[in-house]
A and B are shown apart, each in its own frame.
Chain A
């Protein structure tokens, strides 16, 4: 195949040379911004009318009509409580993974659908009403629920999620993050150690290390046979002389590493506390 590099190539080269000297249409984005047409629908923004009121009254028509169910809306009712929640986002994510998992042939673990026994929600509703269904008081709600029921059951967390409108994942996250909140019912005794700086200077660190060695578990967990459970406590600056260590709420007189180790071994051995009825 033979071609003589004749006029065509040279004309092309001349054109690119001329273009090299021409003004460039590039828009330097951060400094200059290309004018967007007024009717541009690229901006997703919630419209306000001229009086400043929100134009959306959470009728969920758009979330219902959306072909790919990508609209996640949360609505506040008239008494300013955040309660109505059209949230495919939560299920959407799980649903997509679920179908992918099922298509791959693996069994589909479905924690939210695992049957959990319902609880009597009277006490829980009282706590929620008292806190005003406000998701920002989540830690207080969970603490009082644990005091009321002994531990945080899945049913309780589901109910709190529905009532306050926060996602179940958020509530579950808060419950599992703090050491003093426990999801499993505490079988045996609860040994709580304060972790504030003043107690640590007085030896709480060594006590904790000894307790973890003796109960062969870490803070927030319970010993293998469930006799003892280690938790973090808050001495609120109250412990004058020694580290603040409590066993089932009773403050320990000599909170030293050796003392606590003996206590825990006795508890785990006898599975019944010495000297407690």
Chain B
């Protein structure tokens, strides 16, 4: 091994020789611990080791660093480090007007960006007390449910990829690609749609979108069913996820979970039913729940939700009325001074925005509540005692999106 006194090249600048060796494996921060939790985490007992599941890691969904304290292969404790993808979206939104907020909020939950641009629009409409035409409401529900299915299809592929299966991710992407091409025909973009406008939507349904939606609906469920049959009953997959990261109802509520992780524990909290918005009260669908609350239950829950979404799309297509798709609004929006909280049900949970306006054309404060931020928190509670391979499975089943977590 290299003895300390030999001159070591610094990692940052190879031409520079440093006397103290580059402590590559030193995950302990140089500054003194600031809180008791940090002190307790960074003091290592006998046989323990700190390892970085670093910002660049194949299975952190985005840029997330998790410092693991492991004893052999078993995890003793875990401290996620956030901020690698922090762009200060809330500060930027405070300096831009209400229209620009939509394009800034798009890349927050980039896998389901129809939802992440729908919420600030909903909050602005509450502040402006504008009534959105019914056709626009139906188109919004249609686009959101399509985006939910594409996000769930991708989730199932990622979960299997994190457990080592190579094929499901490609079947997931096949499903997602079909839907995303359809949404590109409607909105003009594949990933960040920028389709919602305050008071309505950008463009009306066109032939290209309706024809693709038509032949997709004919084989929608069958394709997803048989491509996911690859892992539903696979003994290794079930063995790896059954009983992993089990959450009971009380801890789920105390950890402020929302979306599939919460419904997997049996609590039927879904913002579309709990606090209905847009035209959801008129649509008939039920909220699938499971009892076990472990990774396998969360996985099966996503399958049921896809069935419900297809059912919703079917109803929307039968009931969509004619009429305008944008409400009459002045070009320069100056909402009345006031506060509004709007929340919708995104594929990962309850996605809310708390918008405050002071009468000017720039929002006074735009607080974005992202479900992955709170779902990711429960990884710290669930993983001690499991193995390193399990933390990947737990994180994959909670499905965090780092764009939303780091805002």
> Which positions in A face B, CB cutoff 8 Å?
1, 3-9, 11-12, 15-16, 19, 25, 34, 36-42, 65, 67
Contact = CB atoms under 8 A, between A and B. Distances in A.
B234 A39 contact: no
B234 A12 contact: yes
B96 A41 contact: no
Contacts of A41: 188-189
Contacts of B119: none
15 contacts: A5-B235, A9-B234, A9-B236, A11-B233, A12-B231, A16-B230, A36-B184, A37-B181, A37-B184, A38-B208, A40-B185, A40-B189, A42-B188, A42-B189, A67-B100
Interface string B87-116: 000001000100010011000000000000
Contacts of B239: 1, 3
B235 A8 contact: yes
B184 A40 contact: yes
B238 interface: yes
Nearest to B100: A67
* A5, A8, A25, A34 — most chain B CB neighbours (10 Å): A8
Given A8-B233, A8-B235, A9-B235, A67 B206 contact: no
Q: Across chains A and B, which 9 residue pairs bring their CB atoms closest together, nearest first?
A: A41-B188, A37-B185, A8-B233, A8-B234, A8-B235, A3-B235, A12-B230, A39-B188, A3-B239
Given A1-B239, A6-B235, A9-B236, A25 B174 contact: yes
A7 B187 CA distance: 44
Interface string B9-31: 00000000000000000000000
A6 B185 CA distance: 44
B185 A39 contact: yes
A103 B206 CA distance: 49
Nearest to A8: B233
Interface string B205-230: 01011000000000000000010011
A9 B226 CA distance: 14
Give the most central of B92, B184, B186: most A CB within 10 Å: B184
B251 interface: no
A111 to B, nearest CB: 25
B232 to A, nearest CB: 8
Nearest to A34: B181
B203 interface: yes
Contacts of B96: 67
Which of A6, A37, A38, A67: most chain B Cβ within 10 A? A37
A1 B100 CA distance: 55
A67 B92 contact: yes
B235 A40 contact: no
A34 B234 CA distance: 35
Contacts of B185: 37-40
Contacts of B209: 37
Nearest to A39: B188
Nearest to B190: A42
Contacts of A5: 235
A140 B61 CA distance: 57
A11 B229 contact: yes
A228 B232 CA distance: 85
B167 interface: yes
Contacts of A36: 184
Given A16-B167, A16-B230, A37-B184, A8 B189 contact: no
A67 B192 CA distance: 15
Contact of B104 (A12, A34, A37, A67): A67
